[in-house]
Structures are given as C-alpha cells and as structure tokens.
Amino acid sequence: MLYKKLSELTDEEKSKLIGRGGGDLANVEDTVAVILKDVKHNGDAALREYTKKFDGADIDAIEVTKEEIDEAAASIDPELMKHLEFAAGNIRRFHEAQMPQKTWFIEVSPGIELGQKFTALESVGAYVPGGRASYPSTALMTIVPAKVAGVKNVVMCTPPGNDGKVNPLTLAAAKVAGADHVYKIGGVQAVAGMAYGTETVMKVDKIVGPGNVFVTSAKMQVRDMAEIDFPAGPSEVLIIADDTCNARMAASDMIAQAEHDPNAVSVIVTTSEKLAADVKTEVLKQAEETLRTEIVNTSLANAAILTVESMDKCIEFSNEFGPEHLEIMVENDDEVLGGIEHAGSIFVGNYAPVPVGDYASGTNHVLPTAGYARIYSGLNLAHFMKSASIQRISKQGLETLKDSVIALAEKEGLQAHADSVRTRFE
C-alpha cells in the first residue's frame, strides 16, 4: 500500500496508480478470442465444455427452468426477500425518473418541426458474475432498468457452482427483477453465447454487466455482433477527505472495496496528514478482522493513502484518476462536488458509503472502471434505449430550406440530392 505525499510519487508509481489494470485486456485478448470463436461455431456443446473446464460443473440443460427459479425464490428467507424487493423498488424508481419523453417536437420555423422518438432495444443480455461471491444485486441493477425501459427480452447469464446449480438468491433476484430467460453459464463463454446465439441461448442486441478481465475483453471483442455498455472490471474507490472525515469510516470503505477482488483498488487523497496516518492504522487493523482477509490483503497492494497541500489538488487528482466510485468526505462537499468532472458514481457525506449504492439506495452499481469514467457514464436507462430523429416539413417549410440544401448539395457534387429538393417546386 502506497503511503506518501502525492507530490513525492515517482513517475512509475503514479503511472501504475492512474493506469490500474490498463494493460490486462491485451494480455488475455488471444485466449478470449479462441473461446469466442469456439462458441460461435460449436454453440451449446462449447458452452458445456467451458462450463466444465472453468466452473467444474457438468450441465445438461443450459437454461434454468421457471420451476427452478420459483423453487429457488421460495427457499429464500421471507425477510431477505423483503430486502431484495425493497432494493428493487428503489432501483426501479431511480431509473423511472430517467425516462425520456417518448416522442417530442419543436417548431424551428413555420412548416418545420423537428423531434425525437425513443424506443427500447428488442433484447438485452445481463451478465451477473459468480466466482468468489454471488451477486444478486447485479441481477437487479442490470435487469430492472432494462425492464423499466421496455426491453421485451431480457436474459441473464451467471456461472453455476460446481454442483451445476445457480445461487438461489441470484435466481430470486432475477425473478424479482423480471428476467425472461436465465442461463447457467459464465465467463467468456456466456458473453459469446449472448453475442452470437446458440441452440439454447438467445442472441441479444446488447450485453451489460460487470466481470473480470476475461469477461471485459470478451465484451470488447464482440461489439461487431452486440453493443455493450462499457468496460467494467475490478471495483475501485477514491475518497476525497479533509480533517472532518472519520478515519475509521474511511478505512472501512477502503476495506469494503478491497474485499471484492484481489485486483480491486482503494485510494484516499486528503489534505490532513493526521487523517492519513489514522486511516493507515485503521486499514491495517480492519484488514485482519475481515472474513475475506486473504483477498483484502492482496488487494491492498493496489491501495494508496496520499496527502496533498490543498483541496484543489484533491479534485485535480480525482479528475485525472476518473474513479468508478468517488466518496466526498469533507466539510464543504458542494464545493468539491462542483469541481468533479469524471466519476462513475459519487457518494457525498460521511454517511454515504459505496455499499449503499451497491445494494439499496437505487443508483446503479454497474459502472466504468480503470479510468473509463472519463468517457463513459454508468449504467442508466439510456443504455437500454435508442432514438430516431424526426423531421415533419410542409412545402412552406421546405421553401425556407431549399436554397441552402441545393447550394450545399451541388457544391459537394451530389446533383441528385439537389434535384430531389428542386423537383418538389417544378
């Protein structure tokens, strides 16, 4: 774990911190390409082969039946189901608020109306990771907004355990969210199945959801067959803090990110040297108290506690870093929030830790990582919709456009374009 003044970081240290995991996609590209090609050509047989190889599970039926989903939901403690439905309700409300006006027009001049028509995608594939942990929350985050948008066919892929079964809570979440089909496949093979389609798996128009470097690489490689949301790899948090921040709270938030994955990144940048020292002490203490100590300690090799001379420097570093999750734990949080330009999701105040967004506040936890927040937005309703522009033009309206269209078309050497307008006035 780095513990230094930001100004004293070596070029190598800063480059590694800012570029976290940036070269990993290239390292797995060829391996991923082989699996994609195999699934494309061999369909269900390849899916079963890779599920056996990577998940240790022999599966016959690739799709989880409705009866299995109902049985799984019925097995969940009713109190836990209430929490699942509560979270789903908040997620639904937040994304409903993002719904655009389905069709709108403005009159730019007499006889000329311009507008847009928004429609949902026909089909979407939601990837829900498994592996080190189950993520029913990701089922809610990917499926609920798709259904709010009006997507007709939402399918979910998630890896099975070595017994060939999907975690019951993940299946219950899929039911609560409204998934139309659930497939017990994970990894690159799941992305391939959704992108190309197989005898069992429905081909989709778009694939959303987080995953490891192999899943992320697979998503990037199938974009000629299915649109994707954005690269979403190992989790990360950046905390901006001053001396009003509680060291124990900040440390617990770093540990919470660290327990996700050995490649997760936890960083705090602060104007307070005392806070930095206290956070370091707390991080080391809490790392030994967590249940996932081995993962946390491995992840903390990617962590950093940095001190700077001013809050402006904190903001500057944050914008350069482009964090997936940004926590603002300072006295003048509005001032800091106003300076933030690049972040996947922002958590303001000492009582807004990242896990509330992971589970139940309603914002989406599927977010761009590794600096991609500089160019991508987190998962939202727009990811599940497309728009078409509309022009409604009368003869009077065309009259005002005629001369400009004809002149520009002829200048570009496109005589037929000019004639298509000129003809209407002959």
Alpha-carbon distance 213 to 211, whole Å? 7
Has 325 been annotated as catalytic? Answer: yes
The active-site residue out of 236, 324, 327, 342 is: 324
Residues forming the annotated binding site for Zn(2+)?
257, 260, 358, 417
- Nearest residue to 190 via CA among 208, 176, 173, 178: 208
Binding residues: 127, 189, 212, 235, 257, 260, 325, 358, 412, 417
Neighbours of 181 (CB within 10 A): 19
Contact, 218 vs 224, CB < 8 A?
no
Strand partners, 398: none
**Nearest CA-CA partner of 272 in 222, 310, 300:** 310
Strands (E), 209-352: 227-228, 236-241, 265-270, 304-307, 325-329, 345-348
Catalytic position from the list 95, 181, 325, 342:
325
Q: What is the DSSP letter of 292?
A: T
Of 212, 207, 165, 193, nearest to 57 by C-alpha is 165
Residue 365 designated active-site: no
What would the DSSP string read from start to end of 64-131?
A: PPHHHHHHHHHHS-HHHHHHHHHHHHHHHHHHHTTPPPSEEEEEEETTEEEEEEEEE-SEEEEE---T
Q: Would you please indicate which residues are annotated as catalytic (active-site) residues?
A: 324-325
